[in-house]
Amino acid sequence: MKATSIVVLAILALGLVTFFGWLGFSSYQKSQGPALDSTSKPLFATRTPQAAADSFTAVPPTVVVPVTAIVSVTFTASPTAVATETVVVQAADVCGEKGVWNVLVLGSDYAELRGKKGSDLTRMMRVDFTNKTVIVYAFSRDLWVDTSGLGLVNPNVDATRLGMVYYEGRIRSPQFAEIDTVVDGTRATARMLSKNFSLTTDHYLTIDLNHLAAMIDAVGGLPINIPTRTTDPWIGTVIQAGQQTLNGAQVVAYVRAIPDSDFGRIQRNDLLLGALRQKLLDPAVMAKIPVLYAQFKGVVATDLSLEQINNLSCLLRNAAPGSIIQDSVRPEWTSPGPSDSLLWNKNNVITRLKELGLVQ
């Protein structure tokens, strides 16, 4: 099983900065960004500068129907009469929430060292508050996907690598503010995942990975045990094996190193999961909250409210062993495709997504 540590970094760190944000803002329950438009609307609607500036207004939160348990209680009213009363027992809140979210998590590399890669990471996270489980499913950025009909025109892009969809969406955005172009890139990715993998997106969280190093440095680096020496000509550094504390630049290098394949990179990121979780749960990190909030404020696009972020981080912090499942498209389900991409076996991938509950 595989995971991306950056997902956990983003969610847990956002959970920490929620407290500081709540102190300074009355909009604790206000969405931090616009909801993704429905697929029936044009992908890139032209907006005026004022509309772009006002695009991050509050939107109604996703309504989740609570899970209920129906209990029939039979009692005797008299020796000759029997009545049945139905009692509806509401599922208890878990970290202030009920139900299930599909959260699209993207790591934005708009200007990557290897070229215009778009999203350096693409993950769909199924958060089940009722059952206290989290599933993080990773998609390699090299998967070849169908983008016909998504509105990627002038010039038309009918198929491309998965990670490039975010980039293609951003460069076609008519928005003026950079954060709004990020939302348009995220919207294009969400529609691509729906078209190719039958995935729905309830919420999104897009992180500018160009600021990841500063985020790591803000919490004093990351203690971790690296099993093998890792290097890659593109990252310009060497990560030695052994127990050590990586600074921000080293963490970014380790996250992005691909001496073998994108699948190997995903596996290496799994090593960061435990270290990041422990680091961000350290009470000493609480002293860094103002710095963290300042760093995240301008580099994260999400439609989650501060309250929802806090509830999500609560679930991740308190999840029982084995309740967080990490998985991904497996190498054996892929084969070489055009433009250095990977073709993928749709039956195997969709079957696994259904097994995990990501696709109904």
Strands 300-302, 342-344: parallel, antiparallel or unpaired by DSSP? Answer: unpaired
pLDDT at 341: 92
Does domain 5-55+99-355 fall into CATH 2.40.50.140? no
pLDDT at 135 over 70: yes
249 class by beta-carbon count within 10 Å (0-12 exposed, 13-18 middle, 19+ buried):
middle
Measured from the Cβ of residue 123, the count of other Cβ atoms closer than 10 Å reads 23
Q: Which residues contact 315 (CB under 8 A, 6 or more apart)?
A: 94, 95, 97, 127, 129, 132, 134
HSE at residue 234, side-chain half, CA atoms within 13 A, is: 13
92: which residues sit within 8 A by CB, 6+ positions away?
none
Q: Mean pLDDT lowest for which of 178-192, 225-239, 250-264, 312-326? A: 250-264
Residue 50 clears pLDDT 80, i.e. is over it = no
Is the confidence at residue 28, as pLDDT, over 60? Answer: yes
One-letter amino acid of 353 = L
pLDDT the model gives residue 169: 92
Rounded mean pLDDT of the chain? 75
Torsion 174-176-178-182 (CA) sign = negative
Q: How far is Cα 163 from Cα 160, in angstroms, rounded to an integer?
A: 8
- Confidence tier at 56 by pLDDT (50, 70, 90): very low
Amino acid at 255: V
User: With the C-alpha atoms ordered 110, 115, 116, 119, is the resulting torsion angle positive or negative?
Assistant: negative
Count other C-beta atoms under 10 Å from residue 109's C-beta: 24
Instruction: Look at 9-13, 167-171, 316-320 and tell me which has the smallest mean pLDDT.
Output: 9-13
- Strand bridging mode 144-146 / 230-232: unpaired
Question: CA dihedral defined by 210, 216, 218, 222, rounded to 10 degrees?
Answer: -170
Report the alpha-carbon distance of residue 202 to residue 38 in Å, rounded.
11
Q: Report the candidate in 174, 204, 178, 207 with the shortest Cα–Cα distance to residue 190.
A: 204
- Look at residue 24 and tell me whether its pLDDT is greater than 50: no
- Amino acid, single-letter form, for residue 144: W
> How far apart, in whole angstroms, are the C-alpha atoms of residue 44 and residue 146?
18
Domain segments of the chain as ranges: 5-55+99-355
| Residue carrying structure tokens 């020796």 | 79
Residue 345: is it exposed, middle or buried by C-beta count within 10 angstroms (0-12/13-18/19+)? middle
Distance CA 244, CA 240 (A): 9
Residue 219's pLDDT is what? 79
Give residue for tokens 């995220």.
186
pLDDT for 257? 72
Query: What is the percent of the chain with per-residue pLDDT over 90, rounded to a whole number?
Result: 28
277 vs 283: CA distance, rounded Å: 12
> What distance in Å separates the CA atoms of residue 240 and residue 261, rounded to the nearest whole number?
19
Backbone angles phi, psi at 188, to 5 degrees: -60, -40
The amino acid at residue 246 is L
b (16+ CB within 10 A) / e for 261-297? ebbebbbbbbbbbebbbebbeeeebeebbebbbebbe
Closest among 61, 32, 119, 49 to 300, alpha carbons compared = 32
Nearest-angstrom CA–CA distance, 264 and 236: 18
Lowest mean pLDDT segment, chosen from 26-35, 128-137, 335-344:
26-35
Strand 324-328 relative to strand 133-139, pairing? parallel
